[in-house]
Amino acid sequence: MNDMTILLVEDNADDELLALRALRKTDVPNSVVVARDGEEALDYIFARGKYKGRDVRALPKVVFLDLQLPKLNGLEVLRHIRQDDRTRRLPVVLLTSSDETQDMKAGYDIGVNSYINKPVDFDEFVSQVKLLGQYWLGVNRVPALY
């Protein structure tokens, strides 16, 4: 997996499609792995389940994580990521429809790097995801996780 992989954790097919479309429009080359529930996201990150055998050191450059997910919600996924020494510094962006202050506070308390509300407007959503991709893949710097 290359250095510019994004893990998109999204159970809504429409939002997934929009995010993928926007990420293709960035000026930064990237690949996107999509997980459709919290359990699948953790399986990918920790190389288990259907991802068993994947090099666990080949972490995504950033995780775009929805809050409302089947099996494990976004905050539970974030908690697992932050509790493991191998992934505690992995950049995670909560990209969610929730505008609840309690969700935002909980995300930051657990250690999210950014909390972004999904805009309802199609063009604004595409623009916002494109900017996120450019920032997290092109501008932001993270120390080696391994």
Q: Which tokens hold the place of 18? A: 């929009």
Neighbours of 90 (CB within 10 A): 21
Walk me through the domains of the chain, giving residue ranges and CATH numbers.
Answer: 5-138 (3.40.50.2300)
State the residue for tokens 């199609």.
Answer: 122
pLDDT for 124: 85
Instruction: Dump pLDDT digits (tens) for 65-108.
Output: 999 999 999 999 999 999 999 999 999 999 888 888 999 999 99
pTM: 0.90
Write down the pLDDT at residue 18: 84
* Rounded Cα distance, 144 and 141, in Å: 9
> DSSP E strands: which ranges in 36-120?
62-65, 92-96, 114-117
Q: How many Cα atoms occupy the beta-carbon half-sphere of 37 within 13 Å?
A: 5
- Residues 47 and 41: their CA atoms lie apart, in Å, by 10
Q: For residue range 22-63, list pLDDT tens digits in order.
A: 888 777 777 899 999 999 999 999 999 999 999 988 999 999
Q: State the sign of the Cα–Cα–Cα–Cα dihedral 134, 135, 139, 141.
A: negative
